[in-house]
């Protein structure tokens, strides 16, 4: 995948009734786009946590044999979670980690989750079913209108969306930092 610059638009919901929600997903015509796989994520920052305090994020992710480096910008105001996102594949993840450390970044937090993604043909978005040590979450990502329509079709109220990022959720679960970033 070439380097991409875009605006990430999403909502993330805690899943209270997994069987019911999976049934709704299937009934709306979504099909598995990427089968369940483990993802390992490492969040980096400088010694002063400047990125996090500025609302930005630097992440290295391994999903299967694929490595991705991502920078997320500051979140925009609004009911949907929207922020600039810059992402590129990395050929050698271990060398990338070493490079980040050499540049003065340190691993702030790491976490793993199981992810399954769903898509519908010719739709401008996807669903991510994330299994974490502290619960299941469904991310709806796509255009703003599509995210809102899909949440409504799944019976999910926007007001029930989880506002914290996965690093924040994992950190809270592990008793680490809890500030928004």
- Does the residue 117 lie in any domain? yes
- Does the residue 21 lie in any domain? yes
Alpha-carbon dihedral sign for residues 77, 80, 85, 91: positive
Per-residue pLDDT tens over the stretch 78-135? 999 999 999 999 999 999 999 999 999 999 999 999 999 999 999 999 999 999 999 9
pLDDT at 7 over 80: yes
pLDDT at 35 over 60: yes
> d(Cα 118, Cα 25) in Å, to the nearest integer?
8
The pTM of this model reads 0.89
- Does the residue 179 lie in any domain? no
Percent of the chain clearing pLDDT 70 (strictly above): 93
How many domains does the chain contain in total? 1
- Does the residue 100 lie in any domain? yes
Q: What is the CATH number of the domain that holds 122?
A: 2.40.320.10
Token pair 């793993």 is at which residue? 112
- Expressed as residue numbers, the domain containing 105 is 9-174
Q: What's the confidence (pLDDT) of residue 171?
A: 85
- Does the residue 152 lie in any domain? yes
- Does the residue 129 lie in any domain? yes
DSSP structure class, residue 103: T
> d(Cα 12, Cα 158) in Å, to the nearest integer?
9
Residue 161 pLDDT level (bands cut at 50, 70, 90): very high
- Does the residue 147 lie in any domain? yes
- Does the residue 50 lie in any domain? yes
């Amino acid at each position: 995948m070439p380097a991409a610059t875009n605006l990430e638009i999403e909502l993330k919901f805690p899943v209270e009734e997994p069987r019911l929600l999976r049934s709704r997903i299937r009934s709306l015509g979504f099909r598995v786009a990427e089968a369940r796989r483990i993802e390992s994520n490492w969040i980096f920052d400088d010694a002063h946590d400047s990125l996090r305090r500025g609302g930005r994020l630097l992440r290295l992710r391994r999903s299967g044999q694929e490595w991705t480096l991502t920078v997320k910008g500051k979140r925009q105001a609004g009911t949907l979670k929207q922020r600039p996102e810059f992402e590129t594949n990395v050929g050698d993840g271990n060398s990338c980690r070493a490079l980040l450390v050499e540049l003065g970044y340190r691993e702030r937090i790491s976490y793993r989750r199981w992810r399954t993604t769903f898509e519908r043909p010719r739709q401008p978005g996807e669903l991510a079913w994330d299994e974490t040590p502290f619960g299941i979450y469904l991310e709806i990502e796509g255009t703003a209108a599509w995210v809102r329509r899909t949440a409504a079709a799944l019976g999910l109220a926007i007001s029930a969306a989880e506002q914290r990022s996965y690093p924040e959720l994992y950190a809270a679960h592990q008793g680490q930092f809890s500030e928004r970033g």
